[in-house]
A and B are shown apart, each in its own frame.
Chain A
Amino acid sequence: MLTEVKNQIKVSFLSIKYALLREMLNKTTFITNVIFMILNNASMIVQWIILYSLKENVGGYTFKQILLLWGIAAGTFGVSRFFFSKAFSLADTINSGKLDAYLVQPKNVLLSVITSEVEVSALGDILYAYIMLFIYGFTLPTFLLFTMFCIGGGIILTAISIILSSLSFWFQKTDVIADTGNRLLTSFATYPDGIFKGLAKILLFTLIPVGIVNYIPVDILSNFNLGLTGIFLFATFLLITLAAFIFYKGLKRYSSSNLMNARI
């Protein structure tokens, strides 16, 4: 069991490494992609400079906390899109029958698929996240916590995409739903939760867990809270389990399914 897990992790990292090497073949494109993504995120600061010129406090956040929120948003996005890029085009992989290639390998199908590509610009997001952390204020504990939140949050985003994409095992044309769901999470991620009220706020901590991925980490980093950290870790664990469960349920259907597009 233990060696199996070890081998699986080794293969996944090797896969990510090779995928990265592929992207680095063209150095100029690689570097421009990374730098442009950093600039992309940085450009949105304009919005907040203007908003903070109108009010000192937006949605209960100071300007520095907004930067931290951006850091978490970019970091979680970056981790999910860099390491598990294929989880975000999984619906397409399922629809076009491209899972076949992974089914003849003696490894975890889900992990093999999602680690088979990397998105280079996501490295820019990750770098940007740490730039924001440095502006916010760097200490070793915040650095470690921040890293944990980026990885955990990235995994949550990946898990959600896997769950939404797995709909494609059962229903057709659901790839747009997965896309919309993923976009929804990023849309909310950079706005402070204080501006939302009522039902929206409840949704943000449940169905659309932006609250768990983004707001709770900012909260903890500003003011450490063990209970909230526990909630965060529990949610991460829960979503991984759920994603794996639904994906494998779907995979079974994929193999025994009679629905066919390009698979005859």
Chain B
Amino acid sequence: MKKYWFIYKSEVMSDLQYIFNLLVGFISYLILIYIFLNLWNYMYDDPTQVINGYTKNQMIWYVIITEILWMTVGGRKLCRKICDDVKGGNIAYNINKPYSYIGYALSSHLGGCTVKAIMFTILGMITGIIFIGEFPKLTILSCIMVLITALLATIINTLLIIFVGLISFFIEDANPFYWLYSKFILVLGTIFPIEYFPSIMQPILIYSPIYVVSYGPAKLFVDFSWEKCLFIIIAQIAYIIIAYLLCRLLYKKGVKRLNVNGG
């Protein structure tokens, strides 16, 4: 476990150099939130109105959280890196190393997310308070729970993207699969909470990764309840185990194929 901590740490360190780029990147985030602020201001007639169980402020906070989660992960880069590792033969090089590739990919990518996560969280909160003017009613303890679910969400998201990247063992280009995954999360998981979708779709969305990757932490942030929190964390742990096992399975099959066919 120590080596993964080390990989994580060195990735965090190297990321600090790009803080300028991250700050400029935050402008894109700010613009997006600004657009949603305007959109919901327009859609809601007055602040007390409740649509599908959410007030206007809750809707804006919801997007603030889901966008932080999504932008922090930077999935396209990760997927491309995994694909390159597979295609470029880096994986073959890693087979002889005394660590698991998935562990390596996960820890190094989480390292790459850390600085961004901290920065986006702080700046995102400030943005929210400036734009909306009020903070959801949260105790310190529930704040911590939100952070935990956010961390778990990032781990699941990373594992799922690694899974998608590993598909390139078997097909020429796995990027279209990543694209499908990202569209799924972005269109159905970040803009609106699950409650906004038609009631036939809702059960499907609850069991989909959306629930654990974006909806969970954001919902807890805008409308905390211990019951829901417990349910989300159990679902997240289940997802982590399943996603990890799936990655290992795919990796093993892929390596076997690599050994047979050559890199």
Direct contact of A and B (CB under 8 A): yes
Q: In the complex, what distance in Å separates the CA atom of A58 from the CA atom of B39? A: 9
Q: In the complex, what distance in Å separates the CA atom of A197 from the CA atom of B38? A: 8
1/0 per position for A31-55, CB-CB distance to B under 8 A?
0100010011001101100110011
Among A55, A176, A191, A197, which residue has the most Cβ atoms of chain B within 10 A?
Answer: A176
The answer to whether B24 touches A176, judged by C-beta atoms less than 8 angstroms apart, is yes
Q: Chain A residues near B192: list those with CB within 8 A.
A: 47, 50
B50 within 8 A of A: no
The answer to whether B28 touches A51, judged by C-beta atoms less than 8 angstroms apart, is no
A97 within 8 A of B: no
Task: Choose from B25, B31, B197 the contact partner of A50 (Cβ within 8 Å).
Answer: B197
Stretch at the interface among A78-86, A111-119, A146-154, A181-189: A181-189
What's the minimum C-beta distance from B51 to chain A, rounded to whole angstroms?
Answer: 6
A195 within 8 A of B: yes
Q: Chain B residues near A39: list those with CB within 8 A.
A: 183
Q: Which residues of B (215-237) have their CB < 8 Å from a CB of A? A: none
Residue of A nearest to B23 (CB): A176
Among B24, B41, B192, which residue has the most Cβ atoms of chain A within 10 A?
Answer: B24
The answer to whether B42 touches A195, judged by C-beta atoms less than 8 angstroms apart, is yes
The answer to whether A195 touches B176, judged by C-beta atoms less than 8 angstroms apart, is no
The answer to whether B39 touches A195, judged by C-beta atoms less than 8 angstroms apart, is yes
Number of interface residues of A (CB under 8 A): 30
Residue of B nearest to A184 (CB): B31
- How many of chain B's residues touch chain A, expressed as a range? 20 to 34
Whether A40 touches B39, Cβ cut-off 8 Å, given contacts A173-B20, A176-B25, is no
Q: In the complex, what distance in Å separates the CA atom of A187 from the CA atom of B42? A: 18
Task: Choose from A44, A55, A183, A188 the contact partner of B43 (Cβ within 8 Å).
Answer: A55
A59 within 8 A of B: yes
Main secondary structure, interface of A, reads: helix
What's the minimum C-beta distance from B32 to chain A, rounded to whole angstroms?
Answer: 6
Residue of A nearest to B38 (CB): A195
Task: Choose from A29, A43, A194 the contact partner of B42 (Cβ within 8 Å).
Answer: A194
Task: Choose from B21, B34, B41, B173 the contact partner of A29 (Cβ within 8 Å).
Answer: B173
Whether A40 touches B41, Cβ cut-off 8 Å, given contacts A28-B172, A29-B173, A176-B21, is no
B99 within 8 A of A: no
Task: Choose from A40, A46, A195 the contact partner of B179 (Cβ within 8 Å).
Answer: A40
What's the minimum C-beta distance from A231 to chain B, rounded to whole angstroms?
Answer: 24
Residue of A nearest to B179 (CB): A36
The answer to whether B35 touches A187, judged by C-beta atoms less than 8 angstroms apart, is yes
The answer to whether A180 touches B25, judged by C-beta atoms less than 8 angstroms apart, is yes
Q: Chain B residues near A177: list those with CB within 8 A.
A: 24
Q: Chain B residues near A202: list those with CB within 8 A.
A: none
Q: In the complex, what distance in Å separates the CA atom of A235 from the CA atom of B176? A: 37
- 5 contacting pairs across A/B (C-beta < 8 A): A32-B173, A46-B187, A50-B196, A54-B51, A183-B31
Given contacts A28-B172, A177-B24, A180-B25, 18 further A-B pairs with CB under 8 A are: A32-B173, A32-B176, A36-B176, A40-B179, A43-B187, A47-B191, A50-B196, A50-B197, A54-B43, A54-B51, A173-B20, A173-B21, A176-B25, A184-B28, A187-B28, A194-B42, A195-B38, A196-B38
